[in-house]
Amino acid sequence: MPVRPSLQVVRYLLSLAAGAAMPLGFSPFDVWPVPMLAIGIIFLLTRTLPVRTSAICGFLFGAGMFGTGTSWIYVSIHEFGAASPMLAGLLTGFFVLGISALMIMPIFLIYSWLNQRKAGQGNACRLSPWQQVLMFSGLWVLFEWVRSWLLTGFPWLLSGYALLDTPFAGLAPVVGTYGLSLLMVTTVCLLFALVIPAKPQQRAANIIALSIVLVCWGLPWPLNHIQWTEKTGDISFSAVQGNIPQNLKWDPDYIHTTISTYIGLSEDHWEQELIIWPENAIPLFYNRALGLMTQLDRLARQNNSTLILGMPVDDNSGSETRYFNSILSLGEGDSLAAGSSSTESPGRYDKQKLVPFGEYVPMASILRGLIDFFDLPMSEFSRGGYEQSLLKAGKVNVAPYICYEVVYPDFVAQMAKESGLLITISNDTWFGKSIGPVQHFQIARMRALETGRFMIRATNDGITALIDEKGDVLETIPRFANGVLSSTAEIREGQTPFMIYGSWPVLLLSVLLVLLPLYSKPFLRGNCLPKCRLPG
């Protein structure tokens, strides 16, 4: 008997609404129980559905999640990409639908395909509710990981970020963000599975499931008090926030004003051991600003200070000029010698994780020239090499990250191993007053927690902040204003378990969670709860 159209529509609307509610668990809203509720709802909605219907529900869930959670992409395309509201909306819609189809829908498609097989004229469930929970949770986390590298990666809105400011956060230095995602999805689905009618002999399984949830939720509490790294010193710093308007940043007539702004804001802070300017603070290519770089290097040395700043570098060492989004370390750091173009210089770091369309254009020969959005300034960068030295601030090893790079958990942890301090510079001005920069800041905080390191974040218009090894914000300055954050950051050494093992233990566990139900007796025997069958 076919499903009534009205029931099908309700199911689809619930899937869309559950996905749209997910971002409420992330900054700036931070209502962390909402993602738990949303995940539980979509699990119950799809656990007995046919493959096609389940895939549609998953697609709608993803469309709702990215439609509300990444709406800031519209701001970048419309306000700074010179696209009309209709075109910007269309491009944003294509992105949302594309990532939902590639990254979210397959979770439900594979889950339902493994969960069900044809039996007679209908589809019958072959897994118990607890087996469904294991498989669903494993697939969820595996596809969050796939989202971090497929098509250069977009690891945004990972479920684990919602647990940053909760007692569960103590697990982050042990299992990382994906581990927090696994904790959330597994325990929530176990709780929601308790509402499924059970036979008397299965009530013991319900008690076991509830016990597992309580143990998993109690485990992180004592971990919150463990110090995985130890303090070895301090460094005084000033992080400068210039608040340069994005529409003027690359205007040749405004460059002098930009440089004067950063020099002026730094004037009273050269006694600090470290001064940080944000991403592309100097809107000139390095080889066209050698005089300025020499002047800044000399000024830093005279004050026994290190200046770390972002600027584009033009590399003429090969057969053709290549361009990099880079960080330079001047003064008491390992300075890049005037005129040098070596990508191996310890005083220079080139960005490795480039943003599609913002820093490079896929299929550039086809897309460039179609609309202004595909011809944004500084959209022809090359990717930096994998083996790059850490920067120096005096005798301190500094792990540098440029903007989008901080969203990759394992990438950040790997670079942080030999460092005593993390620095991330960014220019979130591209996204205006949207929720994007606040989400980005939350992600940066998680990286500090995972690595047990202090992090200094310097941005053009906010959020410039000092974050401690627990991911807590110690000091910050207001957004959309120029200013200087002056404070002292701890230098720390040691490694968290996550830095040592990365995400691999969680990913292997997720694979086991998917495979285990397939080789358990209930599946092989075709065992099924009587109420599993759902027509349509």
Q: Which positions are catalytic? A: 279, 351, 403
User: What type of residue is 7?
Assistant: L
| Contact in structure between 468 and 454 (CB atoms under 8 Å) | yes
Tokens of 175: 């299992």
**Among 413, 490, 430, 429, which residue's Cα sits nearest to residue 455?**
490
| Contact in structure between 352 and 320 (CB atoms under 8 Å) | no
- Rounded Cα distance between 292 and 421, Å, is 27
3-class DSSP assignment, residue 232: strand
Count of Cβ atoms closer than 10 Å to residue 156 Cβ: 21
Dmax over CA atoms of the chain, in Å, equals: 84
Count Cβ atoms within 10 A of the Cβ of residue 383 and give its class: 0-12 exposed, 13-18 middle, 19 or more buried.
middle
Strands 473-476 and 465-467: antiparallel
Dihedral, CA of residue 522, residue 525, residue 529 and residue 532, to nearest 10: 100
**Among 186, 198, 203, 184, which residue's Cα sits nearest to residue 134?**
186
- Rounded Cα distance between 171 and 175, Å, is 6
How many Cα atoms within 13 Å fall on the side-chain side of residue 56?
Answer: 11
- Rounded Cα distance between 374 and 485, Å, is 35
